[in-house]
Amino acid sequence: MSTAPHDHALYQGLFRTMTEGCAVHELVHDEAGAVIDYRILDVNDAYVEIVGLEPEAVLGRLATEVYGTHAAPYLERYARVAMTGEPDQFEVHFRPMAKHFRISVFSPRLHAFVTVFADITREKEEAAALEAEVAHKSDLLEQALDSRVLVDSVASAVFTVDAQRRVTSWNREAELLTGYGVDEAIGQPCTMFAKEPCTQGCSLLDDSGGEAVRGRECRVLRKDGRVITILKNAVPLHDDTGAAVGTVESFVDISEERAAREKLVASEHRLRALFENLDAGCAIYRAVDGGTDFVFRDLNATGERLEGVDRMDLVGRRVTECFPGIREMGLLEVFERVQRTGEPENLPAAIYEDERLMGWRENYVFRLPDGDLVAVYRDRTEEKQVEHELARYKDKLEELVGARTLQLRDEVAEHVRTRRALQQSEARLRAIFGALPDLVFLVDEDGRYREVLTGEEDLLVRPSDEVRGARLQDFFEPALVERFMALVQKTIEAGTTQRIEYTLELPDGLHHFEGRSAPLEQPVQGRRAMVFVARDISDRKKLEWQLSDALDLSEAITRAAPVGISAYDADGRCVMANEAACRIVGADHEQVLAQNFRHIESWKRSGLLDAAARALAGQSSERVEIHTTSSFGREVWLDIRLAPVSSRQRHHLLAVYDDISEQRVAEREVRELTRDLEDRVRRRTVALQAANKELEAFAYSVSHDLRAPLRAIDGFSRAVLEDYGERLDDDGREYLERLCGASQRMGGLIDDLLKLSRLTRRSFEPSTVDLTGMAAGILEELQAAEPDRETELHVDPELVVRGDRALLGVALRNLLENAWKFTGQRPITRIRITGRTLPDALAVSVSDNGAGFDMTYVDKLFGPFQRLHGMTEFPGNGIGLATVQRAVLRHGGRVHAEGRVGEGATFTFILPSHGRGSDSVPPRGV
């Protein structure tokens, strides 16, 4: 073997540094050429470390020396490698070192060999441990294999089915999950536990070709009816020939996981809906470029609307690309910060602007747990615009206000000046006006008006401007002018105050004036003059006239008043009495005036004197009603009012009285009459009650005693017929038969009479009665009794009244039975029940196309025992319609009939709709 020098160096390096221990040896032969030992020629560092011998102790030495053993270890194997060149490998356990080595041997040349040691102690130990565990487990497994312990202790439900899908084993968990005990499950088809039919074959036996099934979700119906969701595995079982013999199935209850999952999905949906319906814009981003830019992940509908974008265009794109203005707006900075710190931030309204859109947005930014960023934002553009506008207007307004304020200040100053001047001049005039009454004139000696001062222009014959400078004769008649001029001269000449009264025609009628004049000391424009003050005294004049009129009138009224009026002074003397007063007490005027009420006997007796004292003392009016005999002998009832009156500081008593004698007498009579009437009613009621009792007793005895002989007649006739029939001839027998028939009819008659009597005696019990239903029921009964009759029946719907159900039932039944009876001979029976609403009443008619009747006898129809048809033609006892009438009368209604012979009849009963029966009406006799 030759190697190039550089190869040699390479191998040397490799040899020294390799991690396996490596030693080079050569064989040592004896004289006979047999291999007896080997010599160690070279070792590497790893060898030194593994074996623990220094190179000096081993190099050039024999193995027996180095290892201290009798024979060189593995000599035979090594020699074979060194002699044949076939490499070898084996593992050894060095007990002194408690180490395992894998030794690889190869031969570089004849008689030499190289050993490579690898320390495999750890591998060996691990393998041994594994082996021990496996052995242990297989032991356990073997022990448990045939027992239920294994199957029962697993956390899954496990069961097996045979080829017919019948359960052959069933573990504890399966019992718990399904609620079926092992005894109940064994032998049952496994499909009994399935909630739905198993459309996908889980039994592997038929459709899945024996493949195992894993992770199928099914629903299982528990024994208690609860449905649970399970996740199951199934593995087919085969026999030795490979034929399917059954399945092992295992399952776990995942109902809760399933429910939780569904809840999660629902919650996701809810959140999604919330997101979509949020009235704020909402965008979700994911950070890119190390959190310096953000990609759209989602945007809600509000966001789409606000920004005028479609979310599909945005998702996946960068926000800086879609909204280039975001950095200027300051929002990107916020995004970066929130992304970094996780602290939510609010960016108050900030303006966003790019080529496409401009607006104010308020943003709230936060980070989701998964790192995504959410921005919720609102459009504040409008608010901002309004704010802006407001600010602009405010400035302008302030400017305007400033200018206006200055202007106003000037104006006010001007006003103040003007007003002060005016006030000064007005004050003088005002003083005159305030001091003088109504009209003030300055008139000069020529009768010319020099000045007019008045607040009452209406009282001037001309406007004051025209009056100034005019003369008296310009306005007044000559006679009045003369009077005025006389006044002027007197005033001015005599220098004294004068007075005058005069009347003027003014637009609103005649006015009376009182004028006073006084001379002026100073001449006016060179002429002597006077002041003339006129006052309108029309109102005073009118009052005077009215007063005198009123006095006349009141006297007339007092005199003629139909009530007595008299007045007395404080001492009780009569000072005044009118005609009625005299008439009432039955005296003449002088007699009345001569009276003093304090001494009138009847006043004392009747208590009137006390009332008078009270009225005078309390200064209040009193009202009393007295019944007395007057001082003049008249018996009177008086309704008297006494009132104190004061006239010129003197107190009087005024008495006003009504003669109510007639009323009172009438009342007394009425009271007496009423008492009498009540007595009579009471007596009548007692008599009626007695009669009623008697009637009841009568009815009772009719029921009892009248029927007894009838029964005897019938019974004994029958007895004769039966016992002695053959001794009688045909006539005799027929007579007896008639006797029986008659007594039975009479029995029927008595029964009907009793019913009628009971009808009137029973108490009235009002309720809501459905006549439609009632009539239909009765007609049904009648039809059922004679099903062969051809009929056309009609009942109006909703005939509902308030009344006594039993009474109305009897009435309706009688009418319908009559109608049915009298139509018996017609080919078609036609009966109609119709209703008609009247004011405060309901009219119900029963019409038929039966035999009808002659209207001549209509009055007899409703009397008891009245019959219009022969017994043989239509049987009956004539009580039915009487019964109907009784029943209707007790409702406060009435009944009438119309008919024509051979053409049918109509019976109508009218029930008042207040529904009140004659409860209080005493029962009528039969």
Partner 1 sequence: MSSCTEHILLVEDNPDDVTLTKRAMKKAGIVNPIQVAEDGARAVELLLGPDAGPLPALVLLDLKLPKMDGLEVLRVLRSDPRTELLPIVVLTTSSEQRDLIRSYRLRANSYIRKPVSFAEFVQAVGQMGVYWLILNEAPARSLGE
From 214-222, 503-511, 706-714, 853-861, span contacting partner 1 (CB under 8 A): 706-714
If the CB atoms of residues 261 and 758 are measured against partner 1, the closer one turns out to be 758
Helices (H), 561-620: 579-585, 589-593, 601-606, 608-618
Tally helices (H) and strands (E) across the chain: 29, 32
| 805 near partner 1 (CB under 8 A) | no
Which one of residues 700, 724, 857, 865 is an interface residue with partner 1 (CB under 8 A)?
700
**Other beta carbons within 10 Å of 566:** 24
Interface residue with partner 1 among 483, 718, 830, 924 (CB under 8 A) is: 718
Residue 14 CA, chain-centre distance (Å), reads 97
Kindly list the distances between the CA atom of residue 326 and the CA atoms of 268, 307, 336, 373, in Å, as whole numbers in the listed order.
Answer: 30, 13, 12, 15
Q: Considering the rule CB under 8 A, would residue 744 count as an interface residue with partner 1?
A: yes
Q: 291 or 747: whose CB is closer to partner 1? A: 747
806 binds partner 1 (CB under 8 A): no
Closest alpha carbon to 624 in 636, 643, 642: 642
When asked if residue 751 is in the footprint of partner 1 (CB under 8 A), the reply is: yes
Min separation Cβ 674 and partner 1, Å: 38
Binding span for partner 1 by CB under 8 A among 252-260, 386-394, 624-632, 697-705: 697-705
Kind plus residue range of the DSSP H or E element containing 224: none
Q: Which residues fall within 8 angstroms of residue 882, CB to CB, at 6 or more apart? A: 756, 862, 863, 864, 865, 866
Does 877 bind partner 1 (CB under 8 A)? Our answer is no
Beta-strand relationship, 99-106 and 112-119: antiparallel
Among 107, 339, 538, 743, binds partner 1 (CB under 8 A): 743
Instruction: Tell me: does residue 523 bind partner 1 (CB under 8 A).
Output: no
Stretch that binds partner 1, among 338-346, 704-712, 855-863, 901-909 (CB under 8 A): 704-712
The rounded distance, in Å, linking the Cα atoms of 765 and 756 is 17
Kindly indicate which of the ranges 24-32, 294-302, 654-662, 746-754 contains the residues binding partner 1, using the contact rule CB under 8 A.
746-754
Residue listed under structure tokens 């970066």: 336
Phi-psi region of 470 (alpha: psi -120 to 50; beta: other; left: phi over 0): beta
535 DSSP β-pair partners: 514
- Which stretch, 73-81, 83-91, 252-260, 747-755, contacts partner 1 (CB under 8 A)? 747-755
Nearer to partner 1 (CB atom), residue 705 or residue 730: 705
Contacts of 563 (CB under 8 A, 6+ apart): 580, 656, 657, 658
- Pattern of binders to partner 1 over 653-692, x per CB under 8 A? ----------------------------------------
Of the candidates 405, 350, 413, 411, the one whose C-alpha atom is nearest the C-alpha of residue 383 is: 350
Q: How far is the CB of 686 from partner 1 (least distance, A)?
A: 23
Structure tokens belonging to residue 818: 């009559």
Q: Which of 643, 710, 841, 926 is in the footprint of partner 1 by CB under 8 A?
A: 710
Rounded Cα distance between 615 and 652, Å, is: 10
Task: Verify binding: residue 747, partner 1, rule CB under 8 A.
Answer: yes
Candidates 73-81, 285-293, 542-550, 714-722 — which segment interacts with partner 1 by CB under 8 A? 714-722
- Cα gap 332→736, rounded to integer Å: 129
Shortest Å, Cβ 192 to partner 1: 54
Do β-strands 841-848 and 904-912 pair in parallel, antiparallel, or remain unpaired?
antiparallel
Residue 454 contacts partner 1 per CB under 8 A: no
Q: At what angle do helices 730-761 and 661-701 cross, to 10 degrees?
A: 150
Nearest residue (CB) to partner 1, 428 versus 704? 704
User: Counting contacts by CB under 8 A, is residue 926 touching partner 1?
Assistant: no
The stretch near partner 1 (CB under 8 A) out of 35-43, 458-466, 698-706, 776-784 is 698-706
In the DSSP assignment, the letter for residue 798 is -
The answer to whether 740 contacts partner 1 (rule: CB under 8 A) is yes
Rg of the chain (C-alpha set): 70
Q: Which stretch binds partner 1 (CB under 8 A): 188-196, 536-544, 743-751, 772-780?
A: 743-751
Stretch that binds partner 1, among 441-449, 517-525, 710-718, 793-801 (CB under 8 A): 710-718
**Cα separation of 839 and 347, whole Å?**
79
Angle at 400 between CA 397 and CA 402, to 5 degrees: 110
704 interacts with partner 1 by CB under 8 A: yes
Q: Which is nearer to partner 1, 527 or 761 (CB)?
A: 761
Total residues at the site for partner 1 (CB under 8 A)? 24
Q: Which stretch binds partner 1 (CB under 8 A): 86-94, 170-178, 500-508, 708-716?
A: 708-716
Give the span between the Cα atoms of 740 and 201, in whole angstroms. Answer: 90
Out of 754, 776, 843, 858, the only residue in the binding site for partner 1 (CB under 8 A) is 754
Compute the CA torsion angle 288, 291, 292, 297 (nearest 10 deg). Answer: 50
Please say which residue, 467 or 740, places its beta carbon nearer to partner 1. Answer: 740
Per DSSP, the three-state class of 862 is coil
Give the CA angle between residues 581, 585, 589 to the nearest 5°. 55
Residue from the set 52, 607, 715, 922 that interacts with partner 1 by CB under 8 A: 715
* Binding test (CB under 8 A) with partner 1, winner from 708, 726, 731, 840: 708
First to last CA, the chain: 161
Is 576 a binding residue for partner 1 by CB under 8 A? The answer is: no
Q: Does 735 bind partner 1 (CB under 8 A)?
A: no
Torsion angle (degrees, nearest 10) of CA 613, 617, 621, 622: -30
Compare residues 717 and 885 and give the one whose CB is closer to partner 1: 717
Q: Per CB under 8 A, does 711 bind partner 1?
A: yes
Smallest separation, CB 805 to partner 1 (Å): 17
563 binds partner 1 (CB under 8 A): no
Contact between 897 and 829 (Cβ < 8 Å): no
Measured from the CB of residue 875, what is the shortest distance to partner 1 in angstroms?
A: 16
Positive or negative torsion for Cα 564, 569, 574, 576: negative
Q: Which residues bind partner 1 (CB under 8 A)?
A: 700, 703-705, 707-712, 714-719, 740, 743-744, 746-748, 751, 754
